[in-house]
Amino acid sequence: MSDRATLHVFDQAEKEIMKLSRTDKGAVLEFMYKFRNNPDQPGLDLKTLHGDNRLMAARVKRDVRAILLHLGHSEYLLIGVEHRSSVYDDLDRYAYRVNRVTGGIEVMDLKSIDTRPVGVSIIGRHLPSGQLFGAYTDEQLIALGVAEPLLPHVRQLADEAQLLEMAEWAPQLTTDVLFALFDGDTYDYVHDRITQPVQAADQVDVDDLRAAVKRPASQVTTDDEALRFILGESFERWQIFLHPSQRRLVERRFNGAARVSGGPGTGKTIVALHRAVHLARQLPAGIDKPILLTTFNRNLAADLRTRLRALGGDEVLSRVDVVHVDRLADRIVSQYDPRAPKRKLDDIQVPQLWRKFLDTQIGASTWSPEFLAAEWEQVILGQAITSRAGYFSARRPHRGRALARADRDQVWDLSERFVRWLGAQGSWTWRQVAVRAAALAAGSPCQYQHVVVDEAQDLSAAHWRILRALVPAGPDDMFLTGDSHQRIYDNQVRLGSLGINIRGRSARLTLSYRTTRQILAAALEIIDGGAYDDLDGGSDDLAGYRSLLQGAKPVFLGAADWAEESGLIITQLADWGTPRDGSVAICVPTKKLATDVMTRLEAEDIPAVEIGPNGPDRGDGVHVGTMHRLKGLEYQKIIVAGVSDGLVPRQMINRYRDLDPKRYENERQRDRSLLFVAATRARDELAVFWHGTPSPFLGRQRV
């Protein structure tokens, strides 16, 4: 027989291959190529391993063998690469099963338990069994999706460290379930939140390995190109291995708009990217761009574009319009209203502009510039109100002071004059552009068949109106990913009132791929005490949010003053070996502090690279920026400095405490979320510093 074979590669095997020397990796690649062409060619020496006729070995090179699982017909799964001498040792160590719940194929090399130090303690030492999961029967654990061959080991687990060791090689669902139970979630909760979402969509035949390998729960690669990338190490895991709960969302057909939430690093952006590719591939070929992939700002959009190309290639990129939402608004205005002002002002300047307007155009006013700026931005532009009548009837849920009709009349007059004053200078703000674009888009034809939105929590009502107008309501029309715990701009919306109905189509991701358990625990303390919404008038939380990654405990340290704190930064960098490869970032609450840090680094001869509005200027050096600038980025190590009371939250918001308590709460919450965003950009290590009184958001960590 000389048929071509299909060779899948098991996730764990691929990880092992990644660790091989260049030469051995090359040999594996060549083996794969030959094997696919003809698995029975004599040089490969394919033979069944004694004990199980589905397990086979084949020659990779003189002293290296591939371990394969014959799935049936001409399909094989590469499950390991071993030195020739150990291939025949203890063949019982390979356990493979089709998981009854997910229908995915699971392969476990039980030897990996024997050879690890902690593994030895798991089965070698006599530990009091049943300590961790004694409350559940075997049947219950199996029904949740725990791999049956691992039950004896699960019964021996005595502490979290051993559970974490097991997480390195156990199948995904087993790990997810055990950690959720370990973290105290109830059986029913775990069943509903973890097991049920990854249940096979079809009937599972546990003997049909070929059907199993095709199910999303099977962590395997097949694609030639992907393998070449893997061996060349320039390929990232997220491009192939989606968690089954991620894949489900990517591939599911929704009967309307859908929303995916989840804590930092749970792969929302990854899901949004895969979703865009999935949708693009469902559509007939063409030359237009039927899909919009959008996000909050320019550098996030640039990043999406790069990653979309890596994932789907130029062909997909040519069918997906990747643009940040303000640029989209600008395009619409240029197309339909060419006489609109050309100069766009940053919304940060709005209070200053109102001050100048009142001083130069109005004189004494009963209204403060701050009040008017906030009313105009949050209520008038925030709700995209375009008429006096609309403003009279507007709800003002996040504004403290009530306004009578006569007051509203005055505020509306002033707002109109303010807009005319700006316009006379050829200027308007980005928020105004969005509101105008929403009105223009509402009267123009739909441009897209699908819209995918990342960082959804930060979009304004006007942005949503634009998006709603650009895609006809229907199945899979809008797919939104975001986390309201990370909202750092003042845009709170109820999607339902904007014609976007996500009811019954919300899902949450819970497994962090970025941050260690230690960093995550510290970050969760920061947001504890805030209130978070679901973009639709309800509330949201991060229940079940967890990480399987381990790392050092975050460092929390205070200094007497800023000069001393700058010293802490330098010492911390030195402790980390002062990496200059762009793997470390320092972030602070204000631009002034960022400049100080840059100056200090330069004085120490450490190359400092500013994180600008479009991301870091360069890839190397130590990156420095404000906390806002860290949105959407990630680093191996992060120093969050200047986390002092008065800076986080900002001193200036205290004036609203009595004057406008709702606004005070909103502003405080934004600052809290900003600190949360900054802390959760760190993959492996985090250090948080302050001077004077620590930020109240640090809770127990400041002591």
Ligand X SMILES: Nc1ncnc2c1ncn2[C@@H]1O[C@H](COP(=O)(O)OP(=O)(O)OP(=O)(O)O)[C@@H](O)[C@H]1O
Q: Which of 111, 116, 210, 237 binds ligand X (CB under 6 A)?
A: 237
Q: Does 216 bind ligand X (CB under 6 A)?
A: no
As a whole number of angstroms, the distance between CA 483 and CA 309 comes to 25
Q: 46: which residues sit within 8 A by CB, 6+ positions away?
A: 39, 40, 56, 57, 58, 68
The one segment of 74-82, 108-116, 239-247, 350-358 that binds ligand X by CB under 6 A: 239-247
**How many Cβ atoms sit within 10 Å of the Cβ of residue 627?**
25
Q: Does 266 bind ligand X (CB under 6 A)?
A: yes
Pick out residues in 665-694 that bind ligand X (CB under 6 A).
680
As a whole number of angstroms, the distance between CA 380 and CA 129 comes to 64
Q: Which of 59, 97, 268, 663 binds ligand X (CB under 6 A)?
A: 268
| Whether 45 contacts 65, CB under 8 Å | no
Instruction: Give me the least distance between CB of 198 and ligand X, in Å please.
Output: 13
Q: Which of 107, 108, 242, 569 binds ligand X (CB under 6 A)?
A: 242
**CA nearest to 212, candidates 71, 69, 80:** 71
Q: Does 514 bind ligand X (CB under 6 A)?
A: yes
As a whole number of angstroms, the distance between CA 109 and CA 111 comes to 5
Q: Which is nearer to ligand X, 239 or 449 (CB)?
A: 239
Q: Does 479 bind ligand X (CB under 6 A)?
A: no
Q: Which is nearer to ligand X, 263 or 694 (CB)?
A: 263
263 labelled binding-site residue: yes
| Whether 153 contacts 165, CB under 8 Å | no
Size of site (CB under 6 A) for ligand X = 21
Q: Which is nearer to ligand X, 180 or 270 (CB)?
A: 270
Distances (CA, A) of 272 to 234, 268, 298, 470, 483: 21, 6, 17, 18, 13
Q: Which of 99, 156, 172, 246 binds ligand X (CB under 6 A)?
A: 246
Phi and psi (nearest 5°) for 512?
-80, 130
264 labelled binding-site residue: yes
The one segment of 237-245, 278-286, 427-435, 695-703 that binds ligand X by CB under 6 A: 237-245
**CA nearest to 595, candidates 625, 616, 623, 563:** 625
**CA nearest to 259, candidates 484, 57, 470:** 484
Q: Which of 264, 544, 551, 621 binds ligand X (CB under 6 A)?
A: 264
Q: Which is nearer to ligand X, 210 or 237 (CB)?
A: 237
Tokens of 453: 């939105």
Q: Which of 354, 357, 513, 690 binds ligand X (CB under 6 A)?
A: 513
Tokens of 597: 């840090």
268 labelled binding-site residue: yes
Instruction: Give me the least distance between CB of 267 and ligand X, in Å please.
Output: 3
Q: Does 308 bind ligand X (CB under 6 A)?
A: no
Terminal CA-to-CA distance of the chain, rounded, Å? 71
Q: Does 259 bind ligand X (CB under 6 A)?
A: no
Distances (CA, A) of 306 to 301, 311, 319, 666: 9, 9, 14, 34
Q: Which is nearer to ligand X, 94 or 635 (CB)?
A: 635
171 labelled binding-site residue: no
313 labelled binding-site residue: no
Q: Which of 25, 243, 319, 600 binds ligand X (CB under 6 A)?
A: 243
Q: Say what the alpha-carbon torsion angle 667, 671, 674, 676 is, to the nearest 10 degrees.
A: -120
Instruction: Give me the least distance between CB of 515 and ligand X, in Å please.
Output: 8
Pick out residues in 628-657 that bind ligand X (CB under 6 A).
632, 634
Instruction: Name the residues that contact ligand X, by CB under 6 A.
Output: 237-238, 241-243, 246, 262, 264-270, 483, 486, 513-514, 632, 634, 680
